[in-house]
Amino acid sequence: MIDQAVFKQFQEAIRHLGEMARPEKLTDAERLSRAKAVMRLKTDRALAMDLEACVNCGYCSEACHFYQGTQDPQYTPTRKLDLLRRVHLRESSAFAPIHRLFTRDITVDDLQEWQALVYDTCTECGRCSMVCPMGINIARGVNVMREALSEAGLAPLELMAVAQEQAGRGTVFGVGPAELEKTVQALRAQGITIPLDEPKADVMLVTTVIDVLLFQDALAATGRILNHLGLSWTLRSAGFEAANFGLLSGNESLQKAASKRLIDEALAIGARTVILPECGHAYPALRWEGRLDNGDPLPFEVLAVSEFVGREIQCGRLQIKPGKAGQKFTYHDACKLARHGGVIDEPRVAIRALGVDFRETAPTAELNWCCGGGAGTFLINRAEPLRHAAWEIKREQIEATGADTVVVSCASCRLNFMEAAEIDQWPTRIASLVELVAEQLPSNPTH
């Protein structure tokens, strides 16, 4: 059960988040120089080809929920890469001397304008790339733009504030080891075994500030499933936070440091598997970007909890009671899990095992529409109307299925759904995948 009062407090805290940011005092020349340095550094061969390959066909606009929700041409996906493109054409393309005659150099005003474009109107969902005839990876270019803006001190204040907190105190929204310990004690008081700081374990479970503050039932559910499977597992207070505000804000050194905390803890306990909570961006942050200090791949498996649960059901190790007959469920694929990570079949295996009337959205899976709140956009106050315009597409898609419940496996999506449902008085139930599965464990509802 979500405590609505806590959700309200959380929303109120987000409204004041930007006030905690400490923007760096830089001159315009310094901002420009820093942003351009990152653009140059990050424009490798693949990105250079992407920047030169666009044929302005406009297909990507059809795929982007921000463009579709507003019909505003400034939100055309390929336009979000214009500054990168201009710097590349003028400085490093084969015809740079000619481009310098016709292509205007970028300015700090451009950087300010693009801040809203690449943070507020791009969730890095990757849907545009699915339809681009040239295969252009716009989400990656947008991520490079975020890195350039972050380096220039121009990340949105809300993301800057949380990134500074995570880089400095190591907490997110004030949640550190002491708050985790309190949550663990509260769950233990409910009779759920939650190992904390075990020196050795096969499985390291990672959680997130959102679960600690709002969705403790999701953490409890994961614990109950791991206990039911008889696994040796633990949370680690020195490395439990899946949320990576380095990735979201564009601060690469923080992104690596936040992942390193998790990696170091997993190595210290000899974990063979790290299970990530219901958190979309945690998946690319650790699974795709995570590396050992020497650059080698991680020596353990990284799984999203929805992926883990689906696999366990598929191979027969986890059996649940089908107890939800007659209920009509649909599933929202989090972009970072499905489109970027290929986690498509496993959540569906789990939902079908619930015995429900499962209805796919159209389109679905890797072409499913983004909810509009990912990649930190949920935290940017001024982006609320844009998020809502994007959400309308998602809402129509879900309503067309006739489902009474939409299942999610990402806390950010869940928050965005909850916010939009509150605004629209939307009656559809929003449910966590892992919580639904834990409810159907065959025995001992709490152990």
- By CB under 6 A, name the binding residues for ligand SF4: 54-60, 63-64, 66, 77-78, 80, 122-128, 132-134, 136, 138-139, 142, 370
Residue ranges in 103-156 assigned as alpha helix (H): 108-115, 127-131, 138-151
Q: Which is nearer to ligand SF4, 50 or 312 (CB)?
A: 50
CB of 441 to ligand SF4, least distance (A): 36
CB of 73 to ligand SF4, least distance (A): 12
Q: Which is nearer to ligand SF4, 222 or 412 (CB)?
A: 412
Q: Which is nearer to ligand SF4, 13 or 55 (CB)?
A: 55
Give percent helix, percent strand, percent coil of the chain, each to the nearest 5.
Answer: 55, 5, 35
CB 80 within 8 A of CB 118: yes
* C-alpha–C-alpha distance, residues 400 and 395, integer Å: 9
Query: Of the candidates 310, 239, 308, 250, which has an alpha carbon nearest to the alpha carbon of residue 281?
Result: 250
CB of 152 to ligand SF4, least distance (A): 20
Place of tokens 């569906």: 348
Strand 233-234's sheet: what is its strand order? 233-234, 203-205, 273-276, 301-304
Dihedral of CA 177/183/187/189: which sign?
Answer: positive
CB 202 within 8 A of CB 271: yes
Q: Which is nearer to ligand SF4, 125 or 351 (CB)?
A: 125
Q: Which is nearer to ligand SF4, 77 or 223 (CB)?
A: 77
3-state secondary structure of 43: coil
3-state secondary structure of 204: strand
CB 87 within 8 A of CB 106: yes
CB of 51 to ligand SF4, least distance (A): 10
CB of 155 to ligand SF4, least distance (A): 17
Q: Which is nearer to ligand SF4, 85 or 287 (CB)?
A: 85
CB of 344 to ligand SF4, least distance (A): 18
CB of 71 to ligand SF4, least distance (A): 14
Q: Which is nearer to ligand SF4, 60 or 354 (CB)?
A: 60
3-state secondary structure of 234: strand
